[in-house]
Amino acid sequence: RRAPRATASNAPPSVGAVDDAVDDGGAAADEVLPPKVRPAPAAASDDDDAQRVAELERMLCWMLDTIITQHEGTETLDLVHSLRDGFAELRREGDPRAEASLLRTLEGLEPMQITQVIRALGSYAALLNVVDEAHAQSRRRAELIGDTENAGVTWPASWDETMKEFQAAGMTRTDVESLMASVEFLPVFTAHPTEARRYVVLKLLSRVYALCGQWLAREIPDRVLMSKMAVEVETLWLTDEMRSRKPAVLDEINAGLNYFRLSLFSAVPEVYRAAQRSIAKNYGSPPLMPAADGSAGDPDKADSLSQRLSGLCDMPDGGLATCMKFGSWIGGDRDGNPFVYPETTVLASLLASRTAIGEYITRLRDLQGRLLHSKRFSKTNGNLSERLLANDADFIAKIPAFEDPTYHADEPYRAKLKVMRHRMEQRLRLLNQNLYELNDTVAEESNNSARAKEVIVDIEYNIDPVPGLEAGEDQYGTPEELLADLKLIQEALLEGGDVGAASGPLQDLIRLVETFGFRLQALDVRQESTRHIEAVDELLRALGVCDDYAALDEDGRVAVLEAALQSSPPDEAALSAALEKCSNDTRQSVEVLEAVATVSAVVGDEAVGEYNISMARTASNVLEVLTLGWAVGAGLAEKTGAGDKEWSAKLRVSPLFETIPDLEGMPDALERLLASKVYRSYLKAAGDCQDIMIGYSDSAKDGGIMQSAFSLYRAQRSIQTICETAGCRWRIFHGRGGTVGRGAGPAHESIMAQPAGSVDGTIKFTEQGETVTYKYGNANTATYELGVGLTGLLKASAPSCNPPLADEKSFMATMSELAALGEKAYRGLTDDTEGFYDYYYSTTICYEIGLMNIGSRPAKRKSGDRTKASLRAIPWVFGWAQCRVTLPAWYGVGSALRDYIGDDAERLAEVRDMYARWPFFKNFLANVQQSLVKANMEIAEEYSQICEDRITASLVFCLIKSEYESTVEQIIRVSGETGLLGAEPELKEKLDDRNLFLDPLNAAQVILLGRRRRAEASGDEEEIERWQDPLLRSIKSIAQAMRNTG
């Protein structure tokens, strides 16, 4: 339970009160804090927990108030309070005179004044978001270690609840372990929409999060925590939240890698530990440790420390296979981003590899200080002990430390680890050498040579060479070689009975190497399909293969491409001569495939992810990319002999179907592709798994959220059927955005809502830039997010837990009608309403997004083109979210339900039955409800006043408001609840809490945006410049309060 959201509205203490309170001890703290901010009683209960959270919220707000007073004066704080509290009162009472007074206050502010108001409101929101996150983690922790009354009560997607479901479905421990060995969970990080906040601010907030966790856990005296929090809150206020320049792709690459260091290296091993603990808790302790000779363990020793530890630790013999991998688009996504060069792709892969290698070296060094076992006192089998260094003589001879014969002479593990560190450091030296060679090229492309050098020549990874050795000499060639040595140490420890040492940091490192290898992440490449058609057309003409490929129909194209793929590729000289005749775009398309080959050769084949083809429509689109790989050679897509499997097939190609028409045409394209004998033989050599990506963002922008959701569901059913018929496996890559309007939703529920059987043991999905922070900004939250995603995958992949729905066909028939009605309503607004896009461009911050310095990719496809096709999905959703319409996430749903159900009681019962029993439909409407709660038509109407064409503004806004009201009414009607999110009151309360800051922020943005639009119309550049900074800060603060951008 939550206490009411604190606002710390009482007057702040004098300047320096925070320091005085801490310096003078607890009594002084009691005197200066607001009345309710007191140490909570020691006894733990739900009420105490709510009280403790309320105290934390009030304290952080009080600290911020104090710091604003100290640096900006009491007038600024009084202004902030009067606006915040005034708009809160306005929401409760709705007094028009009070509203007019508040707006007059805002309109009378100078640029710096309104800037400080916006910054203060954004800072409150940021701090309270952190409290929410820390509170959620605290509650999860309390549930896991609860007292007798609450023990065993965990959240629905937890490991414990999942194991209970498996037991209820009749699954054994072996079944669970086999299931876990068969699945693959693969998040893919993207840079767009880029996280709006600066990385230094994110780091600062992560420190506040850690302090909040300590406050809630009562780990440190309150006055000590208060002192530390005050420092961070003051730094937050004095830090400019705006970037001074647009981030380059290199910055985005580095930001993406930071999350591995920040949280994922810690979270990944903990996920497996949590799973192991839950299995042991629900199925009993794991089998006894095997004896040294491989026989079963001694039952009489079952109560030994080693045996008890085996039920608590992530044991090497625990039966849990490593099933998480990670991917990235950052540095490989060329679709619409002219700043991603072929060299950028190589750089991204090398930096990712260096991040993994650096982590392993750090952990090997740590293990050297932990595994201190002496030959004299440990019980390791002599033969096994000798094997530790049996093959290391040549390495030892080259390591200066071993020139001293007494160096680790009696400590075999430390000696082995020293050798292992040497070999990993040699790999790091070779990586650095390759990176330094790229430095000049990347510096030139990023237009910031100093920044490029700072990232590439990173002092954290800069190690001196070994005298007499070339970089890379003696290195581990593969992750498997490193794993073999780590497991040899583990085997020796287990044989000596040292279960704790075998299952602690050593096991963590094994998990990391199994998960990340030497690649860290598989880098996907993406490009738009027409670029490949143009490149293949030019290249085949230059090679003398086909004079006019682009003029051929689909059958003709497939025939030409199949013939090319079965022939010998051009040699290097022939390819170079052909490329001389081609355009720069074609040369770059080929160079991208050469970059892929370079990554495969330097880092390893596992570093190469999929080649994603955006706007794919035909089978030939896939064969075109393979043909470019064929031309490059290097074993990317090369026929090496006779027979179906005689291919070197390093290139995995994934067509991306995005728009509604493309999703409808996908089955024909996929059937045609898998019917190609040439392609099928290639696919078998590549693992016989067809990758297909489906796009949520563009399909929703194209045909509305209801048609998009159902088209994607239907597409997954088709993929499953077609691939089963063709006899190959499939993997669906879900291109979800960060908001409901772009396909987002809770991970566990979203996975469970997929068609039964379509997941097929694997889930790959994008993690959008602005949501990555909220999911992976700290290790605790990352552990939770990975855990609930993985349990969702396991349940969706277990037939006994996710059986096919008997009524799915009839439900799909009804949903087909609903989707068509929803699309009709949506297109009626977005395609058929005159002036709609003039309204959108004038009343949203769509133009200003491009000024925000939050991403390297252009926000618009074509300048000057006011059509749906010219808009990217991200600013489309971002713009509607900022003005509190959230239109892409719900428009058309109300019309569809109303027009289908009407006054027909049977149809209402049918739709209610769908809501009750069909996970897809219930999850869909649940996500729509969240977006409706975030919307506010009164605020949206204020934005509509900015549009100078009052007839258009009135028409468009009335259509939007009417559909909003209809959607709210119909969803309540179907769900049977008394209001939106009636079944989730805590979530509703959390979303409503944000209005405390959003309402004044939106009011300020309406004023600022209106001034900018009027200044643009009159050509007053001075006025535009005058109000631009506070307007851009309002965008960032609103995104902060709403916790998403696009």
Distances (CA, A) of 74 to 7, 10, 20, 599: 17, 13, 19, 58
3-state DSSP call for residue 844? coil
- Do residues 597 and 737 share a domain? yes
Q: Of 536, 925, 864, 877, whose CA–CA distance to 709 is shortest?
A: 925
Burial 537-575 (b: 16+ CB within 10 A, else e): bbbbbbbebbeebeebeeeebbebbbebbeeebbeeeeb
> Would you state the pLDDT for residue 806?
85
Burial 459-487 (b: 16+ CB within 10 A, else e): eebeeeebeeeebeebbbeebeebbebbe
- Do residues 840 and 725 share a domain? no
Torsions phi, psi of 764, nearest 5? Answer: -125, 130
Q: Where a domain ends, among 215, 240, 265? A: 240
In a domain, 775, yes or no: no
Domain count, the chain: 3
> Would you state the pLDDT for residue 704?
94
- Do residues 30 and 115 share a domain? yes
- Do residues 707 and 823 share a domain? no
In a domain, 81, yes or no: yes
- Do residues 588 and 704 share a domain? yes
- Do residues 719 and 578 share a domain? yes
Q: Are 657 and 693 in contact (CB under 8 A)?
A: yes
> Would you state the pLDDT for residue 386?
73
- Do residues 828 and 727 share a domain? no
H/E run at residue 649: strand 647-649
> Would you state the pLDDT for residue 19?
53
> Would you state the pLDDT for residue 32?
42
In a domain, 33, yes or no: yes
In a domain, 613, yes or no: yes
* CA–CA dist 895, 472 (Å, integer): 65
Amino acid at 801: C
- Do residues 216 and 81 share a domain? yes
Q: What angle do CA 178, 758, 277 make, to 5 degrees?
A: 35
Residues of the chain with pLDDT under 70: 1-47, 144-154, 192-196, 285-319, 380-385, 443-448, 642-645, 737-745, 769-770, 853-865, 1044-1046
Distances (CA, A) of 625 to 87, 328, 552, 655, 848: 56, 20, 17, 10, 36
Q: Which two tokens stand for residue 165?
A: 């479901």
- Do residues 833 and 701 share a domain? no
- Do residues 544 and 676 share a domain? yes
How many CB atoms within 10 Å of residue 500? 14
Q: For 989-1040, how does the pLDDT look when each residue is reduced to its tens digit (9 = 90+)?
A: 887 888 889 999 999 999 999 999 999 989 999 999 999 999 999 999 998 8
Give me the residues paired with residue 692 across strands: 732
Burial 61-75 (b: 16+ CB within 10 A, else e): bbbbbbbbbbebeee
- Do residues 531 and 675 share a domain? yes
In a domain, 852, yes or no: yes
* CA–CA dist 550, 547 (Å, integer): 9
Chain position carrying tokens 């479901």: 165
- Do residues 702 and 827 share a domain? no
* CA–CA dist 810, 51 (Å, integer): 50
The strand pair at 637-639 and 608-614 is best described as unpaired
Q: Domain of residue 603: give its range.
A: 523-744
In a domain, 888, yes or no: yes
Q: Of 23, 33, 88, 28, whose CA–CA distance to 56 is shortest?
A: 33
- For the question of residue 701 being annotated catalytic, the response is yes
In a domain, 899, yes or no: yes
| Alpha helix stretches (DSSP H) within 727-866 | 747-752, 769-776, 779-797, 808-830, 836-843
In a domain, 300, yes or no: no
Distances (CA, A) of 102 to 96, 97, 416, 733: 10, 9, 71, 48
Give me the catalytic one of 639, 701, 922, 934. Answer: 701
Amino acid at 923: N
Chain position carrying tokens 């939250």: 781
Torsions phi, psi of 730, nearest 5? Answer: -145, 155
Torsion angle, alpha carbons of 919, 922, 923, 927, to 10: 180
